[in-house]
């Protein structure tokens, strides 16, 4: 049974930083593509970033240059370092996983098989 457990969310002031973690189990993590999505109230779930098994990354335009996705295969964990946070970054952040892919442009929710429960990030102005 695949489990993805996010942590690290919280309340932060605009301009601040947070690091989210997602601990995975029940899958071959080193061979999985891992992604982060977010969902603000009243909006659809939106792509944030993804990292392939070989370390290649891809980011949504709204977070490029501010957020960094990384992974530690030894710990079965993917991270999202979020800097220069803005109130518009307020959302529930979800970790997602899928199997190997030759493409890095995996920005659609349906391209992922497994999802975590989410962690709330709130950025105050």
Q: What is the largest CA-CA distance in the chain?
A: 40
Other Cβ atoms less than 10 A from the Cβ of 125: the count is 9
DSSP state of 34: E
Q: What are phi and psi of 97, to 5 degrees?
A: -140, 150
Q: What is the mean pLDDT of the chain?
A: 97
Q: How far apart are CA 11 and CA 64, in angstroms?
A: 21
What confidence tens digit (pLDDT) does each residue in 70-87 have? 999 999 999 999 999 999
| Closest of 108, 94, 103 to residue 53, by C-alpha | 103
Q: What is the pLDDT of residues 21-41, one digit of tens each?
A: 999 999 999 999 999 999 999
pLDDT of residue 103: 87
CA–CA separation, 26 and 110 (whole Å): 20
């Amino acid at each position: 049974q695949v489990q993805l457990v996010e942590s690290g969310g919280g309340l932060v002031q605009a301009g601040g930083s947070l690091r989210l973690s997602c601990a995975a189990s029940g899958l071959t993590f080193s061979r999985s593509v891992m992604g982060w999505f977010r969902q603000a109230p009243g909006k659809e779930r939106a792509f944030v970033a993804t990292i392939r098994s070989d370390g290649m990354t891809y980011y949504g335009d709204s977070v490029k240059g501010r957020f960094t996705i990384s992974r530690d295969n030894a710990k079965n964990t993917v991270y999202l370092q979020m800097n220069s946070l803005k109130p518009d970054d307020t959302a529930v952040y979800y970790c997602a996983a899928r199997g190997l892919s030759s493409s890095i442009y995996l920005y659609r929710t349906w391209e992922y098989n497994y999802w975590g429960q989410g962690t709330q990030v709130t950025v105050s102005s």
